[in-house]
Amino acid sequence: MAEQTVQLLVVSDLDGTLLDHDDYSFEEVLPVLDRMDEAGIAMVVNTSKTRAEWLAMRGDFGNEAPYIVENGSALYDGENVTVFGTPRAKILGVLKPLRAKFKFKGYSDVSATEIMEWTGLGRQSAERSANRHFSEPLVWQDTPEKEEEFCEMLVERGLMTFKGGRFLHVLGQTDKGKPLAHLKKDEAAIIALGDRQNDLAMLKAADIGVVIAAPDGFVLEADDVLRSTETGPRGWAEMMTRILDQLQIPQSQKNTNDG
Ligand SMILES: [Mg+2]
């Protein structure tokens, strides 16, 4: 690995940012990751996915850096784990008495087969997704009014919720921005890239926030950020290439050899 020319750390969301929203492809980012690797710039993945899901995937990115899972709930750095969220057992304990009042079904209520039906994931992926430590995805089966009341009650009980796709996620009072202060122990400037509402705190906590355009036309409202024109991993590669060019980070040797 070459000597680091700039103190830079990249923190990136996965779905819709590093991974294509529809087909989970990511080959566009690989040459840029090679370039970063050769310049000694690490990428910390900051995802709503579980630890098991990222560990199954990170080899494809050649990534061994620290990582943040379950929406800012925990930072894994080698043997060290820093928890910002709430243990799942505690979350399930808070949910239990609320079942008398509200209708919902969570991951903890169903088998991997049902999670496969909910998510469209294969069995192994569904099991990895179910291997949660700091959050509980719920399928809401009650009225929208009751959902609002439910969310307020969880906040009073030290938890919070956010809506993502088909699930109402219950987790501790954390977000993707909280762990960034822990990553900033050296003088590195942090560049963060994300595409959705749950990435906003991360973009704000970073020195440079980059919004990756979404294929469904969703526009994340945020001030003082850079914005890609391309979507998903193409947008990621577009923006990181622009930033690395501006910082005069050399091209990857691998790319140069390809002509
Ligand atoms: Mg995303």
Question: Which of the two residues, 222 and 21, has the higher pLDDT score?
Answer: 222
The per-residue pLDDT for 1 is 47
Distance in Å, CA 15 to ligand 1 centroid: 4
Query: 3-state SS string over the chain?
Result: CCCCCCCEEEEECCECCCECCCCCCCHHHHHHHHHHHHCCCEEEEECCCCHHHHHHHHHHHCCCCCEEECCCCEEEECCEEEECCCCHHHHHHHHHHHHHCCCEEEHHHCCHHHHHHHHCCCHHHHHHHHCCCCEEEEEECCCHHHHHHHHHHHHHCCEEEEEECCEEEEEECCCCCCCHHHHCCCCCEEEEEECCHHHHHHHHHCCEEEEEECCCCCCCCCCCEEEEEEEHHHHHHHHHHHHHHHCCCCCCHHHHHCC
Whole-angstrom distance, CA of residue 147 vs CA of residue 216 = 26
**Rounded mean pLDDT of 239-251?**
94
The per-residue pLDDT for 5 is 52
13 is catalytic: yes
Distance in Å, CA 192 to ligand 1 centroid: 12
**Rounded mean pLDDT of 22-31?**
93
Query: In the numeric block, which tokens belong to residue 190?
Result: 């942090």
**Rounded mean pLDDT of 133-157?**
98
Distance in Å, CA 107 to ligand 1 centroid: 21
| DSSP-derived pairing of the beta strands 208-213 and 225-231 | parallel
Residues within 5 Å of ion ligand 1 by Cβ? 13, 15-16, 195-196
Distance in Å, CA 13 to ligand 1 centroid: 6
Confidence of residue 6 (pLDDT cuts 50, 70, 90): low
Question: Is 9's pLDDT higher than 70?
Answer: yes
Question: Which of the two residues, 113 and 165, has the higher pLDDT score?
Answer: 113
Domains in the chain and their CATH numbers?
A: 8-83+176-257 (3.40.50.1000), 88-172 (3.30.980.20)
Average pLDDT over all residues of the chain: 93
Distance in Å, CA 168 to ligand 1 centroid: 16
Confidence of residue 238 (pLDDT cuts 50, 70, 90): very high
Distance in Å, CA 46 to ligand 1 centroid: 10
Q: Which of 13, 15, 20, 195 is catalytic?
A: 13
Burial of 108 per CB tally in 10 Å (0-12, 13-18, 19+): middle
Residue matched to tokens 């943040």: 68
Question: Is 259's pLDDT higher than 50?
Answer: no
CB 47 within 8 Å of CB 68:
yes
**Rounded mean pLDDT of 137-162?**
97
Alpha-carbon distance values, 140 to 6, 23, 100, 165 (Å): 47, 26, 14, 12
